[in-house]
């Protein structure tokens, strides 16, 4: 039973991370944030008649980034995977980037840790062997990031 509880806890942490990401970007007023990931796509495909036997397509969709984010000024679209991690781990970050690179290139990785937010294009992460840059964006200043990071930190303190 404890294993099931840990699975649910990790699922909740992932959903919190995705919500924090989406709301922080929406708060900036510069982005349209669309849910895009596997969990959102597969039920809809099943509903319109796609079969699970289409395994190659399903496997590609299994690695679909969580969000499509549109910059309202430039109209640039970025596919972004959001991950929560207790702390940064270069080998784990590289593993995620390599997996995404196989099917979703270009795409981006947004990591949430207890220490802050990190963001880079997956090709950059691969070139830097798992290093990822701290989130720096003029529309998402440090004080706003700190407010959203506190949500994650408060959740972790409730253990």
**Region of residue 49 (left: phi > 0; alpha: psi -120 to 50; beta: else):** left
- Whether the pLDDT of residue 144 is over 80: the answer is yes
* pLDDT number for residue 94: 98
pLDDT category at 157 given cuts 50, 70, 90 is confident
> Which of helix, strand or coil describes residue 67?
strand
Q: Which residue has the higher pLDDT, 59 or 156?
A: 156
Residue 79 near residue 65 (C-beta atoms within 8 A)? yes
Domains and CATH numbers, the chain: 12-157 (3.40.1350)
> Of the candidates 111, 115, 116, which has an alpha carbon nearest to the alpha carbon of residue 145?
116
Encoded tokens for 13: 């942490």
* pLDDT number for residue 4: 78
Residue 20 near residue 148 (C-beta atoms within 8 A)? yes
Q: What are phi and psi of 154, to 5 degrees?
A: -65, -40
Rounded mean pLDDT of 7-15?
Answer: 84
> Which of helix, strand or coil describes residue 29?
coil
* pLDDT number for residue 159: 60
Residue 77 near residue 69 (C-beta atoms within 8 A)? yes
* pLDDT number for residue 10: 81
CA–CA distance, 39 with 63 (Å, rounded to integer): 10
Rounded mean pLDDT of 102-129?
Answer: 96
- Whether the pLDDT of residue 130 is over 80: the answer is yes
Rounded mean pLDDT of 88-95?
Answer: 97
> Of the candidates 148, 154, 114, 123, which has an alpha carbon nearest to the alpha carbon of residue 28?
148
Q: What are phi and psi of 63, to 5 degrees?
A: -100, 10
- Whether the pLDDT of residue 1 is over 60: the answer is no
- Whether the pLDDT of residue 102 is over 70: the answer is yes
What pLDDT digit, counting tens, does each position of 25-84 carry? 999 999 999 998 766 665 555 555 555 555 666 667 777 899 999 999 999 999 999 999
Question: pLDDT averaged over the chain?
Answer: 87
Residue 80 near residue 120 (C-beta atoms within 8 A)? no
């Amino acid at each position: 039973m404890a294993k099931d509880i840990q699975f649910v806890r990790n699922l909740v942490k992932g959903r919190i991370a995705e919500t924090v990401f989406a709301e922080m970007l929406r708060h900036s007023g510069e982005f349209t944030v669309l849910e895009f990931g596997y969990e959102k796509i597969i039920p809809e495909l099943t509903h319109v008649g796609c079969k699970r036997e289409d395994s190659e397509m399903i496997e590609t969709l299994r690695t679909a980034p969580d969000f499509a984010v549109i910059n309202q000024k430039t109209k640039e679209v970025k596919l972004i995977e959001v991950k929560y991690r207790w702390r940064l781990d270069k080998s784990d970050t590289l593993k995620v980037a390599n997996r995404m690179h196989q099917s979703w290139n270009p795409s981006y990785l947004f990591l949430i840790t207890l220490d802050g937010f990190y963001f880079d294009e997956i090709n950059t992460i691969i070139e830097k062997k798992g290093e990822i840059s701290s989130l720096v964006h003029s529309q998402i200043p440090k004080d706003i990031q700190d407010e959203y990071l506190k949500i994650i930190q408060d959740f972790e303190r409730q253990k």
